[in-house]
Structure 1
Amino acid sequence: MSTSRVLAAVICLGLWGAPAWAEVINGTLKSIDVEGRTLELENAKGEATSYPLPDSAKFFMMAKAAKIDALEEGQSITVTTDKSGKVTVVRVKKASSQPRATAKAGGGGSKATGSGWAQYGGPNRDNRSTETGLLKSWPASGPEMVANGRGLGIGYSTVTFSDGKILTMGSRGDDEFVVCLDEKTLSEVWSAKIGRTRPDGMGGGPRGTPTIDGDRVYSLGANGDLACLKLADGAPLWSGNILQNFSAQNITWGISESPLIDGDKVIVTPGGQGAGLVALNKNSGKLIWKADIPGNPQTGYSSAIIVETGGMRQYVNFVHTGVVSVRADNGQFLWGNNASANGTANCSSPLEWDGNVFSASGYGTGGALVRLSGSRSGVTAALAYQTKNMKSHHGGMVIDGDYLYGTDEGVLKCLEIKSGNVMWQNRSVGKGAVVYADGQIILRSEEGPVALFEATPKSYVENGRFSPSNRGDRPAWPHPVVFDGKLYLRDQDSLAVYAVK
């Protein structure tokens, strides 16, 4: 049976309000010695750990009190330990594996916006958090880590939130999973298999992040497996492979897109013949329209955004040959521009600024601003400028007012958007991903270190930095997320949570 393990460091308040660390470990019961009071727990990688069971340990079977002899090999269990590592609770839960639904790709969705973080890039897909009242500076050791979960599986997916749940993705063995965690404890609520793991020299596993829309979750795996699941329990509603269904080829490092939900549509980018972007009905997975992009370019590594110009609603994404735009209502191609595209990998999603679009890529290329004008009948696009001063590889950028922040390869820069002029630059912690929150920006280096600096065009003002303790052996590419007063940092198999309020 496919297994999972989540190791969470959870803050529990004692009688005097002092924090007491606990660990919550999810996995499969490999063996149980009732007389010797020892169990062996196996994680998703097949690694086994033994846990002595003290007489004080409590046992629960499906939330009901039970005895140690209720434990059986093969059960999916959760083990909770105290600060010293002593087991306090063992819970037997239902198996998480579920049959997959089959349906041809083609669906849609409603835009997941608001004050939360239900989709990749935040409420408006612009890497901006709506959190306020956050710490203006960090202690020398960094913000307090309040939880640390492990066992998510490998991959570069970041996190989204809804209804007290955290959604992410990870590969466990040969399969890709959507993983749902309890927001407070980081214990696993459910996991759902959506496809096969895609091996990769840069690290296997999914790259995209689940999108939450109401009581549903939409995910897209590295092999193009698109799934719609119930948020409550991960039960499959429909699924399909966007590469197979739209005669498209996978890209060098695997599909990395996070689905966009807008109204009744799910928007994804297969990059197939006559199907550069597609709109699918979010309730059924049935095709609404296909966008025929000139040249039939392959998809890129970014995720689509919504842009409004003169009353024209459009979907904009960064494909292999450049930035492209299509009408939201029928998928008609509107415009394209290749000034910011490279021939290797276009990763950072475009950003909308004052009805215009800024995009940038790495590999020596840089960024470009495309000025848009139009009406409900059409949109015209003209290149305002191209700059070598924002070679954004994969960490995205963020706009605050009339200024853009991001890493130009290994150098953090602030640009005036309308002109492309560099306001300041600083090496900070190096190339990485950014998120804006409460007047400041958090930069997470691909090497691991994290910096906090002011969102101001005047100069680089750093207000803290630290090195997370959950570093893995792969680049720290998952984008940082600020939600509910906490900073979330996914790093392959683990998720670290820091109090920043």
Structure 2
Amino acid sequence: MTMWRAAAAIGGLLALAGGAADIRADDWPEFRGEGRLGEWRETGLIESFPAEGLKARWRAPIKAGFAGPSVADGRVFASDWEPTNGMRGTERALAFDEATGELLWVQEWDADYAGIQWETGPGATPTVDGDRVYVLGRTGVLSALRVDTGELLWRRNYGEDYAVDRMQWGFDWGFASAPLVDGDRLICFVGGEPDARVVAFDKMTGEEVWRALPSEEDLGVAQPIIVEAGGARQLIVWNPEEVASLNPVTGEIYWRQPYIVGGAMTVAVPVQVGAQLFFTTFYDGPMMLTLNQDRPEATVAWKGTSNSEIRTDGLHAVLATPIIDGGYIYGICSYGQLRCLNATTGERIWETQEATVERRRWASGYMVRNGDRVLINNDRGELIIARLSPEGYEEVSRTKLIAPTSPPGNRRELRFVNWVHPAYANKHIYTRNDEEIVAFSMDAADYE
């Protein structure tokens, strides 16, 4: 039995036993859910999709954006952008009633998207923490808002406050790193000067607590995460030229590992399993680090040898954060190939095109665990229930979820794509495109 299947079975037994592990609904307060782990722990969900598709609980209009929603305490949070004069326009933070889709409030600000590549809209999922939600716009406007009213509590502008000059970046993806709450701190990838690539703010006031690392290279689009290894909590900072580990409380540097990433494409979230910490990127492929278990330190266990998106020797991910289970890595490669690798050696075990359908540049999707199965949102707007094992890909069910509306920058069969990580919360899936945000029921009771 694999690690995640064993965990799912134990969780089910505990739920049946009652007590602290009672079956409960789960919110999705940040990118990839609680802890940024990409796990949906709820039970009582449908096993396969009905022929007519999932039931929409509600739909609401929204403008353009790549940023997926977050869900907490009865509210759904999202952000969007609408051009008003060329590349100048308005970014918005929005809150919807989770049960009805009623628009509760809107907070907006001006944004100039000039120079940003793939200028569809915001790219950072809102981060919810108690009575506050933190929203980062594509041009580096960070806002702390009240969850109930949308009132602006404080705001920082990366460009103005930290002298960020995006014109100096080789690849201007804008800002897409969702803020991370850690205790009293809000940790952000800013890319500022001097030595302010990473900044920790007081989450209540917006005042700077600490800053770390120089900003001589591109910022990239990585997400801050915290792992535990070597007797320490470590903030992992993935830059286009290196991986660094910091003390999240003080900003002290624990270790740095060179890892050159072409195109500043630090998109997939690093994945930790025990002493393993895995990275993968579009051009330069995979790198597996071994985390020292006695002290904060890391060494390279293995690394891909190809820097080609076509001649790929391992896993060259675009969007999809991989899953590691039972000694195997499952992820979506540069042209949509779903692959299985040996986590110890990096050897490829199998690949299939079934999940993404098209073998096209940047074809991808997002993967989330739920018990012993994986939910895959491909960029054709489909939702797939599958099981992944060293023996291969087993598709259980597939349904059309949402229309792809975003231009992909290359020729695609459906012309447009959907590059949005959905939120899975309270037996529903919440997703959006550039026209609407929708809540679909995954509750088995709704299909009896």
TM-score (norm 2): 0.80
| Residue aligning to 1:249 | 165
Task: Identify which of 85, 106, 110 aligns with 1:191.
Answer: 106
Q: In structure 2, what is the equivalent of residue 319 of structure 1?
A: 239
* Root-mean-square deviation over aligned CA pairs: 2.1
- C-alpha spacing 1:197/1:470, structure 2 compared with 1 (3 Å): farther
Give the number of the structure whose alpha-carbon radius of gyration is greater.
Answer: 1
Q: Could you tell me which amino acid in structure 1 is paired with residue 303 of structure 2?
A: Q
Q: Which has the higher helix share?
A: 2
Identical-residue share of aligned pairs (%)? 26
Q: Distance in 1 between matches of 2:346 and 2:43?
A: 29
Match 1:480 to one of 403, 422, 431: 422
3-state secondary structure, aligned to 1:415: strand
The reply on whether 1:216 has 2:137 as its aligned counterpart is no
CA pair 244-333 structure 1, distance change in 2 beyond 3 A: farther
Residues 344 and 297 of structure 1, relative CA distance in 2, 3 Å threshold: closer
Report the equivalent of 1:386: 303
Query: Shift in Å at residue 447 of structure 1?
Result: 2.9
Mapping 1:302-451, distance limit 5 Å:
302-339=222-259, 341-363=261-283, 365-373=284-292, 375=294, 379-387=296-304, 388-409=313-334, 410-430=336-356, 431-451=364-384
Partner of 1:168: 78
Instruction: Tell me by how many angstroms 1:340 deviates.
Output: 6.6
Q: Give the superposition deviation at 1:290.
A: 0.7
Contact 1:301–1:348 (Cα < 8 Å) also in 2: no
Select between 120-129 and 448-457 the one with higher mean Cα deviation.
Answer: 448-457
* Corresponding residue of 1:271: 191
Residue number among 376, 393, 398 corresponding to 1:465 in the alignment: 398
The offset of 1:146, in angstroms, is 3.2
* 1:154 paired to 2:64: yes
Is structure 2 residue 10 aligned with structure 1 residue 138?
Answer: no
**Structure (1 or 2) with the greater strand fraction:** 1
> How far is the alpha carbon of 1:201 from its aligned partner?
5.1
Distance 1:329 1:396 in 2: 26
Residue identity matched to 1:118? P
Mapped partners of 1:231, 1:419: distance in 2? 46
Unaligned runs of 5+ in 2: 1-24, 84-88, 305-312, 357-363, 408-416, 444-448
Deviation digits for residues 106-133 of structure 1, max 9, x if unmatched? xxxxxxxx94210111111121112223
Give the Cα–Cα distance (whole angstroms) in 1 for the partners of residues 222 and 372 of structure 2: 26
3-state SS in 1 of match to 2:118: coil
* Residue 177 (structure 1) aligned to one of 74, 84, 92: 92
Q: How big is the shift at 1:469?
A: 4.3
Match of 2:120 in 1: 204
The answer (yes or no) to whether the contact 2:79–2:91 under 8 Å persists in 1 is yes
Instruction: Name the SS of the counterpart of 2:41 in structure 1.
Output: coil
CA deviation after TM superposition for structure 1 residue 197, in Å: 4.8
2:15 maps to: none
Contact 1:143–1:500 (8 Å) recurs in 2: yes
Deviates more, 1:215-224 or 1:435-444: 435-444
Structure 1 segments unaligned to the other structure (5+ residues): 1-113
Q: Distance in 2 between matches of 1:461 and 1:379?
A: 39
Contact 2:402–2:432 (Cα < 8 Å) also in 1 = no
Corresponding residue for residue 206 of structure 2: 285
Q: Distance in 2 between matches of 1:311 and 1:201?
A: 40
Question: In the alignment, what sits opposite 1:95?
Answer: none
SS at match of 1:244: helix
Post-superposition shift, 1:163?
1.3
The letter for the 2-side match of 1:379 is P
- Provide the C-alpha distance between the structure 2 equivalents of 1:367 and 1:340, rounded to a whole number of angstroms: 11
Range with bigger deviation, 434-443 or 200-209: 200-209
By relative contact order (CA 8 Å, sep 6+), the higher-ranking structure is: 2
Q: Cα gap change, 1:313/1:296 in structure 2, threshold over 3 Å: closer, same or farther?
A: farther
Paired residues in the alignment total: 383
By how many angstroms is 1:186 displaced?
1.2
- Once the 2 structures are TM-superposed, how far is the Cα of residue 275 of structure 1 from its aligned partner? 1.1
Secondary structure of the equivalent of 2:297? strand
